[in-house]
Structure 1
Amino acid sequence: MADTNRAALSGIAYDIAKKVDKNRDPEAEAKAVAWMTEVLGKAPPAGTYEDSLKNGAYLCELINAIAPNSVKKIHQKGQAFTVMQNIEAFQKALVAYGVPAEDLFQTVDLWEKRNIPAVTKTIYALSRTAEKQGWSGPKLQLDQHLVKDF
């Protein structure tokens, strides 16, 4: 919820951020990580769930594993703007692949850690779309008791 580079949230912004944090589902996040690890054959970079995905490189590798060459250039390091391009490239690749736009998180949701549940929702949407597209790789199933309104 808090980002050390920004002023502390207050008022309605604080209330919204608190509500978003309550929607985080560690079990759904763990299943998403396990699925991505199985698809890619490697775990995400070390760190918290959101930190390991923050630069977008792992997500770009994920869509490339499902739909080869979806993201042509992946920045492993660089300035904030450069690595944020990974997130945007991932999002564009998902739309091109057929993931509904309403299932996509916004760049700031991940980069500024504003809405991590939306990131998880996008990963699940990618898995569903891949299955519909006939992809024969691992499947990510969300248990009904884990379904939350992101």
Structure 2
Amino acid sequence: MATHRATKSGFAAEAQRKINAKYSEELAQEVLEWVKILTGDNINVAGDMDNFYEVLKDGTLLCRLVNEIQPGIVKKINTSSMAFKCMENINAFLEAARQLGVPAQETFQTVDLWERQNLNSVVICLQSLGRKAGNYGKPSIGPKEAEKNERHFSEEKLKAGSTIIGLQMGSNKGANQSGINFGNTRHM
């Protein structure tokens, strides 16, 4: 829980303020409403950080959520409120989320939720899981995932492109080395 850490000060406090500033109450509320629909649990769907943390901190609701998307993906859900059991639940959820297709860069670390370090990353992970839920016939949230848009170019088109020098590569028009005095010092 968040009470295990000392109060941050200085640079650490400033960094934590920046992390907390990224948190969106609207997205958190959307996520909690989606979780409520899928699990059928009567949870408070207010999007403020305190409620979001309290609803999800022990990981049991997260495990039930992924089991609703794909039954049996989390074998054992710990009901104990002991710290390591709760963190096991959160880890089981994260592993299940990866198996369901959530990219690694959109997941969070256990301490982000358990110690309330970065609740925004938890929201991002649940939003990503919400997009993936549609692939399993469940209600989804957020924008629809993009589909593959493969392009095929003819040999002629590819050869034509190799003759063009883009401006990203820079230009040396008018460049010379006049005025550069390597090794020649200024005499007084």
TM-score range (shorter-chain normalised) is: 0.7 to 0.9
Secondary structure at the aligned position of 1:37 is classed as helix
Alignment partner, residue 64 of structure 1: 67
Counterpart for residue 139 of structure 1: 140
Q: Which has the larger radius of gyration?
A: 2
8 Å Cα contact 1:44-1:53 kept in structure 2? no
Structure 1 residue runs of 5 or longer lacking an equivalent are 143-150
Distance between the aligned counterparts of 2:113 and 2:89, measured in 1? Answer: 12
Which range moved further: 90-99 or 39-48? 39-48
1:101 and 2:141 aligned: no
Further displaced range: 60-69 or 122-131 = 122-131
Q: Superposed, which structure 2 residues align to 1:1-150 within 5 Å?
A: 3-44=2-43, 48-131=51-134, 134-141=135-142
- Write the distance in 1 (CA, Å) between the matches of 2:67 and 2:41: 14
Which structure's relative contact order is higher, taking Cα pairs within 8 Å and 6+ residues apart? 1
Q: What CA deviation, in whole Å up to 9, does each residue of 1:2-57 have, x standing for no partner?
A: 93322110122111110111111111111101001011112337971111100100
Q: More helix per residue: 1 or 2?
A: 1
Retained in 1: the 8 A contact 2:53–2:116? yes
Aligned residues: 139
- TM-score, scaled to structure 2: 0.69
- Structure 1 CA distance for aligned equivalents of residues 28 and 44 of structure 2: 15
CA contact (8 A) 2:132 2:140 kept: no
Q: Percent identity?
A: 35
| SS of the residue 2:4 aligns to | coil
Gaps of 5+ in 2: 144-188
TM-score when normalising by structure 1: 0.85
2:18 counterpart letter in structure 1:
K
Q: Shift of residue 130 of structure 1?
A: 2.1
Any conservation in 2 of the 1:60–1:74 contact (CA below 8 Å)? Answer: yes
Moved over 6 A (4+): none
The aligned counterpart of 2:161 is: none
